[in-house]
């Protein structure tokens, strides 16, 4: 009964926070709601018995939100001084989201354990009794190896595209020209001076 209640509560929070991500106008609020969506989805994975996917979602995606927010700030050219001045205005919504996260953690922890202290078997049990990490590894690196590598290539191209979009060429900034360095001749890099005794380079 408690597991069903936790499922419906986490599902409702995930749907509401996902809608808030695309409806709010403030990018900071959108990122906070996105973090809440990831944590809620991780709680649903825990209830399904997929602990590996839950930790992967929290570690990879929640950790990447900071990089995502960095690219958003760089592309939108947000004023950092103005952003720091309005930092205190984000405290109420941040506190509400933090309270929701701690409440979800307590709900998932209480729902994933039975009265006797044993985990609730929500997910179907496998006959071979392998862990989630072993099952995912066998599927990814055997049946879907080519698709997995292609997905990694797509993500790599997306990362390069994000770097190219946020790269700005500013005048007066020194940068390295490898082609010019490699193709430089001795006459261009070495200058001989005939210094007489008692005189400087002046």
Interval 124-142: pLDDT, tens: 455 556 777 777 888 888 8
Mean pLDDT value of segment 171-184: 80
In terms of domains, do 41 and 141 share one? no
In terms of domains, do 64 and 94 share one? yes
3-class DSSP assignment, residue 124: coil
The H or E element that residue 163 is part of is helix 145-166
Which residue segment(s) compose the domain that 3 sits in? 1-121
In terms of domains, do 63 and 5 share one? yes
196 domain-assigned: no
In terms of domains, do 146 and 59 share one? no
180 domain-assigned: no
163 domain-assigned: yes
In terms of domains, do 55 and 151 share one? no
In terms of domains, do 86 and 58 share one? yes
Taking residue 81's Cβ as centre, other Cβ atoms within 10 Å add up to 7
Interval 34-70: pLDDT, tens:
888 888 888 888 888 777 888 888 888 877 776 777 6
In terms of domains, do 87 and 25 share one? yes
Strand residue runs (E) in 23-85: none
pTM of the shown model: 0.51
In terms of domains, do 139 and 94 share one? no
Q: Looking at the 3D structure of the chain, how many domains does it have?
A: 2
197 domain-assigned: no
67 domain-assigned: yes
* 31 pLDDT more than 60: yes
Under 8 Å between Cβ of 141 and 33? no
The band of 109, judged by pLDDT with boundaries at 50, 70 and 90, is low
DSSP 119: B
Tokens of 183: 């193709």
Measured over the CA atoms of residue 133, residue 138, residue 142 and residue 143, the dihedral's sign is negative
Tokens of 155: 């993500």
Helices (H), 77-144: 80-85, 91-111, 132-138
DSSP 172: T
Model pLDDT, residue 77: 61
In terms of domains, do 47 and 117 share one? yes
179 domain-assigned: no
CA separation for the pair 25, 67 (Å, rounded)? 19
């Amino acid at each position: 009964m408690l597991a069903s209640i936790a499922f419906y509560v986490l599902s409702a929070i995930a749907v509401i926070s996902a809608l808030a991500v695309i409806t709010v106008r403030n990018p900071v609020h959108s990122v906070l709601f996105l973090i809440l969506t990831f944590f809620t989805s991780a709680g649903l994975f825990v209830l399904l018995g997929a602990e590996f996917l839950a930790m992967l979602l929290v570690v990879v995606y929640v950790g990447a939100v900071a990089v995502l927010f960095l690219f958003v700030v760089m592309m939108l050219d947000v004023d950092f001084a103005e952003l720091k001045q309005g930092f205190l205005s984000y405290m109420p919504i941040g506190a509400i989201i933090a309270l929701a996260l701690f409440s979800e953690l307590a709900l998932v922890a209480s729902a994933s354990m039975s009265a006797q202290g044993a985990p609730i078997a929500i997910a179907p049990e496998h006959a071979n009794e392998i862990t989630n990490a072993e099952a995912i590894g066998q599927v990814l690196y055997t049946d879907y190896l080519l698709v997995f590598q292609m997905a990694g290539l797509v993500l790599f191209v997306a990362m390069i595209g994000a770097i190219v979009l946020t790269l700005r060429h500013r005048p007066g900034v020194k940068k390295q020209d490898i082609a010019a360095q490699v193709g430089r001749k001795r006459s261009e890099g070495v200058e001989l001076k005939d210094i007489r005794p008692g005189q400087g380079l002046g």
